Amino acid sequence: MIQNRCTVFWVAVLACKTWAGTGDATGLSSAITLHVNAHGRTECGDIPLVSAAWRALPPERVLPCDPNHLVVILDYPAFLKAHPDLASHAILRERARHAFAFTITAAWPIYINLGSHLAIVDAYKRYPWVAFMVAGVLAHETVHAMGNLSEASGLLTEFQLDRRFQSEGHLPETFDIPGLEMQYREAVRQENDSHHEN
């Protein structure tokens, strides 16, 4: 688990060479579409946390709000039943179960696993700043969805955005920016070691 975010998230990039999803909507939110609510505010989908995180993204980080780019998993066991290729890979299946957000094969969509992380939805009700934390995760996963499998690159993007959010007062001073920076530096070290081994 990632120590930043008080071990609530475990962000994973799942690099599975054969599974790219079946398009079956079992276990998924059905309303990931852009719309304007009764108060004139642009919303992304029907889940307040996801919509608030999407709105928190700065213009240079905004991702399309549609099911080709953003998928919310509400029922992970049902999602697995509809995706037997993922279900058959024990390590990937468990990483995805514990991950808050992930991509597969460095491609769209970004999957948000709310079914396994309802505590985050509850935390958002008490602490609106959680939406900015989730926006950082979306920015991280966007790096992967755009073809970059480097965890260091995703963490750097998340770190820079979270630092910006904190400096703007959107994340509390107690949010563990140094911990995220340490994760980034460790990912760089691991990727460098991996390159030297090859």
The answer as to whether 4 is a domain residue is: no
The parent domain of residue 67 ranges over 12-32+41-197
Residue scoring higher pLDDT (24 or 9): 24
Q: Express each pLDDT in 100-109 by its tens digit.
A: 999 877 899 9
The dihedral through the CA atoms of 140, 143, 145, 150 has a sign that is: negative
The pLDDT, as a whole number, for residue 15 is 28
| 191: in domain | yes
| Sequence letter at residue 5 | R
pTM of the model: 0.84
With a pLDDT cut of 70, the percent of the chain lying above it is: 84
Is a pLDDT exceeding 80 seen at residue 86? yes
Closest Cα partner for 137 from 19, 80, 56? 56
Looking at the domain assignment, is residue 95 inside a domain?
yes
Query: Tell me: the pLDDT tens digits for 118-132?
Result: 999 999 999 999 999
Average pLDDT of the residues in 142-157: 96
| Inside any domain, residue 2 | no
Residue 7 lies in a domain: no
B/e letters for 29-68, b = 16+ CB within 10 Å, e = fewer, are: beebeeeeeeeeeebbbebebbbbbbebbeeeeebebebe
Count the domains in the chain: 1
**Does some domain include residue 3?**
no
Helix (H) or strand (E) holding 60: none
Q: Per the domain annotation, does 136 fall within a domain?
A: yes
